[in-house]
A and B are shown apart, each in its own frame.
Chain A
Amino acid sequence: MLKHKIQELMNEPGCATNQAKSDKDRKKGCGKSLVPGAAAGGCAFDGAKIALQPITDVVHLVHGPIACEGNSWDGRNSWSTGSDLYRRGFTTDMGNLDIVNGGEKKLYRAIKQAVAKHNPPAVFVYQTCVGALIGDDVDAVCKAATERLGVPVIPVNAPGFVGSKNLGNRLAGEALFEHVIGTVEPDDVGPTDINILGEYNVAGELDQFRPLLARLGIRLRASITGDGRYKEVAACHTARANMVLCSQALITLARKMKEKWDIPYYEGSFYGISDTSEALRNIARMLVERGADPTLTQRTEDLIAEEEAKAWAALEQYKPRLKGKKVLLYTGGVKSWSVIQALQEVGMEVVGSSVRKATEADKKKALERLGGDEEKLADAITPRDMYAMFKDGKADMMLSGGRSQFVALKARTPWIDINQERHHGFAAYEGMVTLIREIDLSINNPIWAQVRAPAPWDQE
């Protein structure tokens, strides 16, 4: 069962990378084999949890030994404007005896207790390696619990060993498609309802573009899953259009929603100024095509013109402070290209952009914005080489995720987190101005001169 699902996910027709492959390569699937002793990144369970945890009002229960939840709970920076139930860690904390005797009964009791104490609209149950290995049937327990407790209990079948974090993201999408979406019929369907897929409200980014949508009269039916509510996600099949951010994670879900409920989707990004405009344009287009008030098109253009002008004007003051500074982008995916334009606009030089997690389409866009200089497209850079780039002055700063931060900092080089642990939202027009401001604060901080200078007794 799980195997078929994984095979299907690996052969996603809606995926640009997959489309570009030869028949032979496509058959192999997209699972990169992980190299022992040289691997980095989370497992499938991690990916599934990341994708679903931002649903704020449900119990997220992990069926496994302590490491899976005990070592990770409340560690993501996804914000909520409502319930904070999602920030509590729930686990069956399997011990010796559970492994010998099987953990199904314990899991059922755990679900029952969680429902009794927190009265959530649903419970998500995550399978892990050990539960899968001893043959605990999470699907069956969830089914029984749903029937007996009268609360939807959703199995998320993505044990760590089946693959990477990205595969886990997709399996999370499968769980939503199979068990959640379409189970609630709302009574307030509107002509301008949309869903956003693959947005996790990190550092509150949703509210950097939700107000823009509101100004255009567009309603966010469901955010999947940042700041999400269970009932909204369950009713999201009634939306008129889907906007897919971070397409590698939930593209299959978008395609299946198109097939089943005829919801068109657009893959885009709210990172970067012109990309935000492009996203708004496409949302408006899809809605008008599906019968929304045609004046939406012009209203969208007006809003774009106003917001773009405001954003570019706000960036003006940073030009003299950032001109000529060399920045290394080490992120992958959408951000490998979407922030380049704003960086260039303030006069910074992007000396390299990593495209290791990016799709072919992402790579093409990055290359375009880097003036066709292929040398600047980096795959994975080893920490040693990266350290050398900073020491040799080939880059003045780095934008990356937390994993590589100490390579920069230990080389006494400014660094900003633009991945999931970031503390500032960098989405849409406002977010891009925030990013440039953060870069200015970092690169022009007075500490650099002092921390780089040798101690008096080490000076020539």
Chain B
Amino acid sequence: MALIVDHNKALSSSPLKISAPLGAALAFMGMKGCLPMFHGSQGCTAFALVMMVRHFREAIPLQTTAMNEISTILGGMEQVEQGLLNIAKRAKPEIIGLISTALTETRGEDMSGDVKTIRARNKELNDIAVIDVSAPDFAGSLETGWGKAVSAIIRRLAEPAEGHAKLNRVNLLPGCHLTPGDIEALKDIITDFGLEVAVLPDLSDSLDGHVPESYMPTTLGGTSVGAVREMGRAKLTIAIGEHMRISAQTLEAKTGVPFVVLDRVTGLEAVDRLMVCLSTVAGVPVPARQRRARSQLVDAMLDGHFYFGGRSVAIAGEPALVWTLGKLAADMGATIGAAVTTQAQAQLSELPAERVIVGDFEDLEDQILEAGGCDLILANSNGRQVATRHGIPLFRVGFPVFDRLGAAHQVSAGYRGTRDLITQLGNILMERPGHGHGHGHVHSEQTHGHSAATAG
């Protein structure tokens, strides 16, 4: 059991948290023919855009209402209207995500009301789904914005099956900690059971790094508006990650489709639960391919546990990621020496760690020093400064990963994904000397002195 600690610091140093609007934009990246727009200063868009470009190494369609001093004082409806019309004219999208920011929320814009007025007087917007999402930067983090966007899309587009026959289909609501590669792997697993799958949002169809045959000003693929409308025809909704619970509930309320929330899809027991769930829905036994993959994972655990036992890992990320990786590390016999996340999420108290800190990379560093070092850091690329300062290997996970290739194709979902993750982590630990007994551990005094010298 872990104590969740939020120091509520005045000074955040080397932030871990990514803003909620960015999470919402990321969700819209998994919608087909989409061009989202931030309602804020153009910098809000520029920062989010650059971060996604660096992570995915793909063009990112994201626009801005370009709020200025005057519209900030007088109200931004005109900016929203111009923005929507400009996007409609230039990019001809099927769907526009309109996402608020701290600026427009602070001044209390009524974005929903404005959109209604704007739609009523501009018929060129008739064929475009405009989904407004309230996701101010000052509340929550990446997960929050992602969840809010998915819920907003469902509220606006999903319809009950009424009159249409149910299909042999499940809905999949992946959390934002899953990569395009993870989603692709989950789709494969689900279809292996003879089921169809509707994924919302589907980054594996848009940001999987492929080369289209012509220029596209919108997203390159993803979930179509029509597919969301049909989600009521599925037998079951599977949501992955606690932050997708509200979206799953919203979908149930809208369509009557029952849901399960899987806390994670990495780790033997966790994937077993997914398999049982799919087997029950499909009414077929677990396919031979999956059974073989399970056996391979069991073998990987047998071969790999030597290198995890007694080792200490430090984890920083969004709650769902910290939960997934923390459980896997613990499953394999490692201890969680430090855990830092972006918001107090109740489930994290069940992690086998002393504390989970709501904080930043400075907190991660302090935790590592307090624990007398650690063997491996699991965090996004912004963990590199801490890792370098203390000579601890950094395995890059989460968002953003901008200094490695293939962030989109990292797979940790399913038996195979877990097997491969254990292999990668085990290989790093194998190479690290000391095996948890002194060598390679930082001496906190010395390290403090060192960091002061480089900072001075």
Contact = CB atoms under 8 A, between A and B. Distances in A.
B113 interface: no
A318 interface: no
B66 interface: yes
Interface in B345-383: 382
Interface in A119-178: 119, 129-130, 133-134, 159-165
B163 interface: no
A42 B102 contact: no
Given A99-B106, A106-B10, A384-B215, A73 B382 contact: yes
Contacts of A70: 12, 15-19
A67 B48 CA distance: 8
Contacts of B40: 129, 160
A92 interface: yes
Nearest to B54: A75
Interface stretch (A81-89, A336-344, A351-359): A81-89
Output the residue of B12, B79, B87, B456 with the most chain A CB within 10 A: B12
Most buried by A among B19, B58, B141: B19
Contacts of A61: 11
Nearest to A118: B455
B51 interface: yes
A85 B68 contact: no
A66 B137 contact: yes
A34 interface: yes
B53 A402 contact: yes
B219 to A, nearest CB: 13
The interface centre, meaning the residue of B79, B107, B138, B454 with most chain A CB atoms within 10 A of its CB, is B138
Interface residues of A, number: 74
B82 interface: yes
Interface in A60-117: 61, 64-75, 83-85, 87-96, 98-99, 106-107, 109-110, 113-114, 117
A1 interface: no
Nearest to B139: A96
A34 B101 contact: no
A426 interface: no
B72 A37 contact: no
Interface string B33-64: 00001001111111110110110001100011
Given A37-B63, A71-B51, A406-B59, A160 B103 contact: yes
B102 to A, nearest CB: 4
B280 interface: no
Nearest to B362: A88
Contact of B11 (A43, A84, A113, A403): A113
B86 interface: yes
Given A42-B43, A67-B47, A36 B11 contact: no
Contacts of A383: 59, 215, 217
B139 A33 contact: no
A159 B43 CA distance: 10
B69 A133 contact: no
Nearest to A111: B11
Contacts of B51: 71-72, 75
A406 B456 CA distance: 40
From A37, A64, A412, residue with most partner B Cβ within 10 Å? A37
A84 B455 contact: yes
Given A73-B15, A89-B13, A37 B82 contact: yes
A69 B15 contact: yes
Given A67-B21, A70-B17, A36 B103 contact: no
Given A41-B42, A67-B102, A84-B454, A75 B50 contact: yes
Nearest to A383: B215
Contacts of A99: 102, 106, 138
B168 interface: no
A36 B50 contact: no
A93 B139 CA distance: 10
A384 B14 CA distance: 38
Interface string B183-216: 0000000000000000000000000000110110
A39 B47 contact: no
A36 B82 contact: yes
Nearest to B381: A74
Given A133-B106, A160-B41, A94 B138 contact: yes
Contacts of B53: 402-403, 406
Interface in A198-235: none
B122 to A, nearest CB: 13
B65 interface: yes
A93 B83 contact: no
Given A70-B19, A407-B215, A410-B59, A41 B46 contact: yes
B140 to A, nearest CB: 9
B51 to A, nearest CB: 5
Given A36-B66, A37-B85, A45-B43, A66 B11 contact: no
Contact of A65 (B37, B137, B382): B137
Contacts of B17: 66, 70, 93
A162 B42 CA distance: 10
Centre residue among B14, B106, B215 by max chain A CB count within 10 A: B215
A133 to B, nearest CB: 5
Contacts of B136: 65
B334 interface: no
B80 interface: yes
A67 B22 contact: yes
B37 A37 contact: yes
A159 B68 CA distance: 10
B67 interface: yes
B408 to A, nearest CB: 14
A166 B321 CA distance: 38
B363 to A, nearest CB: 13
Contact of B456 (A42, A106, A119, A387): A119
Contacts of B12: 66, 69-70, 89-93
Given A88-B455, A160-B43, A161-B68, 16 more contacts: A36-B64, A38-B87, A43-B42, A46-B43, A65-B138, A66-B17, A66-B138, A84-B385, A90-B11, A92-B12, A96-B138, A113-B10, A129-B41, A129-B102, A133-B106, A387-B214
Interface of A: 33-46, 57, 61, 64-75, 83-85, 87-96, 98-99, 106-107, 109-110, 113-114, 117-119, 129-130, 133-134, 159-165, 383-384, 387-388, 402-403, 406-407, 410-412
28 contacts: A36-B66, A36-B80, A41-B42, A41-B46, A42-B42, A43-B41, A45-B41, A67-B47, A68-B47, A72-B47, A74-B14, A75-B50, A83-B456, A85-B455, A91-B12, A93-B15, A99-B138, A130-B103, A161-B68, A161-B72, A162-B69, A383-B59, A383-B215, A402-B50, A406-B53, A406-B59, A407-B215, A410-B212
Closest 9 CB pairs of A and B: A43-B43, A37-B86, A160-B41, A37-B83, A36-B83, A67-B19, A109-B10, A34-B66, A65-B137
